Amino acid sequence: MKQLAGKRALITGSLRGIGFGIAEVFAREGAEVVLHGLGDEASISAATSRIKELGAPKVEVFTHDLRDSKAIELLMSDVLASGAIDILVNNAGIQHTAPTAEMPPEKWDEIIAINLSSAFHTMRVALPKMAERGFGRVINIASVHGLVASVAKAPYVAAKHGLVGMTKVVALEYANVGSRESGGVTINAICPGWVETALIESQIQVRADKFGGDRNQGIADLLSEKQPSKRLSVPSDIGEIALWLCSNATHNVTGTSIPVDGGWTAQ
């Protein structure tokens, strides 16, 4: 029996990167997968095909703009119109780096909206319905920057710290819902450090160039500044942790923030 057979998961920001890695793991374990993100027809078609190939009995795709609270309400309404949400993964996020005094105000607004406020809006709709059934899983993809800071990332760090804090609040609100047998309703955050996605490839190449094009040396050099393991995670690593959080055995794992950072925050 596949672990997520009969379950339906909505994953925001899941056409690529960490979100897609989570979708792949969930599909392998038999979940119906609701993808979300911005992409052209080709990328949407490729993502849909891959998730079906991995075993998802049903795949849907939505492209609502998470900067807009009204669009998020419509997203949740559209998703719920075709079935319950058993698992909600708030993964969508954007980044922009600049010193605080030089940060464009519109970038602050966008990052807070997508990285923090969108999770509030999805949770406030999804959680009451999860509570009615006595089972639900919310997994907020925060960041190591939800636990510690780095320069030139004020909106990102603020949003991710906020997401970790909101995860704790909402976990307390739903802690006594359901039972061990039903699985309960849990809300947790995963806090990745360096993850191998297209987002960081340019940084890797810059470092690799210092070592005659040796990519592995470039990665080790990049990570040596903060991540003691000097190893990248891959999106499926995050997916496997998300899968564990979906099991009934984790009915008492709630309000946590799980670092996946090679020792970064242990220093």
User: What domains are defined for the chain?
Assistant: 8-195+234-266 (3.40.50.720), 198-232 (no CATH)
Buried b (16+ CB within 10 A) or exposed e, 77-108: eebeeeebbbbbbbbbbbebeeeeeebeeebb
Assess whether pLDDT exceeds 90 at residue 175: yes
Q: Check residue 234 and report its DSSP letter.
A: -
Average pLDDT of span 87-101: 97
Average pLDDT of span 133-145: 98
34-72 per-position pLDDT tens digit:
999 999 999 999 999 999 999 999 999 999 999 999 999
Tell me if the pTM is above 0.75: yes
Task: Report yes or no: 170 and 206 within 8 Å, Cβ to Cβ.
Answer: no
Average pLDDT of span 235-258: 98
The length of the chain in residues reads 267
* pLDDT on residue 19: 98
24-38 per-position pLDDT tens digit:
999 999 999 999 999
Q: HSE, CB side, 13 Å, CA atoms: give it for residue 157.
A: 13
Is 156 catalytic? The answer is yes
Average pLDDT, the chain: 97
pLDDT band at 127 (very low <50, low <70, confident <90, very high): very high
Task: Report yes or no: 160 and 115 within 8 Å, Cβ to Cβ.
Answer: yes
Average pLDDT of span 110-130: 98
pLDDT band at 141 (very low <50, low <70, confident <90, very high): very high
Can you name the residues that pair with 69 across neighbouring β-strands?
none
194-229 per-position pLDDT tens digit:
999 987 888 899 999 999 999 999 999 999 999 999
Residue type, 195: V
Average pLDDT of span 96-108: 97
Residue percentage of the chain with pLDDT more than 70: 100
Q: Give every CB contact of residue 67 below 8 A, 6+ residues apart in sequence.
A: 110, 113, 114, 118
* pLDDT on residue 199: 79
Assess whether pLDDT exceeds 90 at residue 84: yes
Given the residues 20, 26, 135, 156, the one annotated as active site:
156
Q: HSE, CB side, 13 Å, CA atoms: give it for residue 176.
A: 1
240-249 per-position pLDDT tens digit:
999 999 999 9
| Torsion over CA: 45, 48, 50, 52 (sign) | negative
